[in-house]
Amino acid sequence: MAAGIPRGEKLHLISSRVIRTSGAEFYVREAGTGPLVIFLHGMMSSAAVWRPIMLALAEEFRCVALDQRGHGLNTKQAGGYAAKDFAGDVVALIEALDAGPAVVVGHSLGARNAIVAAAMNGASIKSVVAIDYVPFVESEVLDVLEARAASGDRIYASRAEIETDIGGRLTKLPADAVRHRAETLYGEVEGGLRQLADARALVLATRGLREDFASAFRSLVCPVLILCGAQSNVVSESAREATRAARPDIPIVLVPDTDHFVIEEAPLFCANAISDFANR
């Protein structure tokens, strides 16, 4: 069972580096030793949001969080934002680390990518934890996500202004998570601060979420755990029921008093669930 780590303790455990392969370049954050766990963030985010969970798991796992393409400090290419492109990155990273098969934990966009990667190359992936995203999310939800991706690129005058904006939109996020997002997801540009994620990449990646990956989900042979926010505005009860119908053998756990941003709202709950699942 993962132990809680107070904010600020053992931050020296997390390091960052660039991993280059013949076909890609990956900016990653790493912590701990043991069996490999890969972390994939959600849309408009970065590897940095996994910090509390990585710190909680670092004593028993080798935790590697990836800035996915178009996000964070990773490559911002003009195209290549389909499910197969993201999933290919996951497999390539595991192979580059030469430490698989890996447990792959993904939130939102990252959950889709984890599922598709496991269906694409089961030899590299031991199991999957998919957090608040399933194959049956309604098109109306994706409309909202795409609109948000298209409108979120702006210049902020200060970190405080960013915190006010994030706190106003993501009302369940704890204050330290709001502050951490403001500190890590935005960089300095002329005139102020701007999100690190590329605006065009976000729109293309969001449109890519409309690809049907239900067949990939149904074909999974590795163990899978799904965590969903009990009050998620992305994964509805109808979407969960369709997921249960498609794969009744895959457990769906509701995380109390959370919405879509489960990993930041309840990091220790998630860490404990990942630890228990990975150690089975």
DSSP designation for 133: -
* 107 is a catalytic site residue: no
**In Å, what is the CA distance from 32 to each residue of 29, 37, 145?**
11, 10, 34
The residue from 67, 132, 198, 259 that is catalytic is 132
pLDDT of residue 150: 85
The answer to whether position 95 is within a domain reads: yes
pLDDT of residue 100: 83
pLDDT of residue 265: 98
CA 155 – CA 153 distance, rounded (Å) = 7
CATH number, position 240: 3.40.50.1820
pTM over 0.85? The answer is yes
Range of the domain at 94: 11-142+211-278
The answer to whether position 107 is within a domain reads: yes
pLDDT of residue 122: 85
Show the beta-strand stretches assigned E in the chain. 15-20, 25-31, 36-40, 62-66, 102-107, 125-131, 186-189, 192-195, 224-229, 252-255
pLDDT of residue 98: 92
pLDDT of residue 23: 75
Q: Which residues of the chain have pLDDT under 50?
A: 1-12
pLDDT of residue 3: 41
- Over pLDDT 90: what percentage of the chain? 87
* 132 is a catalytic site residue: yes
The answer to whether position 5 is within a domain reads: no
pLDDT of residue 8: 41
- Strand 36-40 and strand 102-107: the pairing is parallel
- Strand 15-20 and strand 25-31: the pairing is antiparallel
β-partners of residue 193 are: 156, 188
Name the phi and psi angles at 248, rounded to 5: -65, -15
The answer to whether position 161 is within a domain reads: no
pLDDT digits (tens, 9 = 90+) for 165-212: 999 999 999 999 999 999 999 999 999 999 999 999 999 999 999 999
* 108 is a catalytic site residue: yes
The residue from 108, 124, 232, 275 that is catalytic is 108
The domain total for the chain is 1
The answer to whether position 15 is within a domain reads: yes
The answer to whether position 198 is within a domain reads: no
β-partners of residue 90 are: none
The answer to whether position 268 is within a domain reads: yes
The answer to whether position 205 is within a domain reads: no
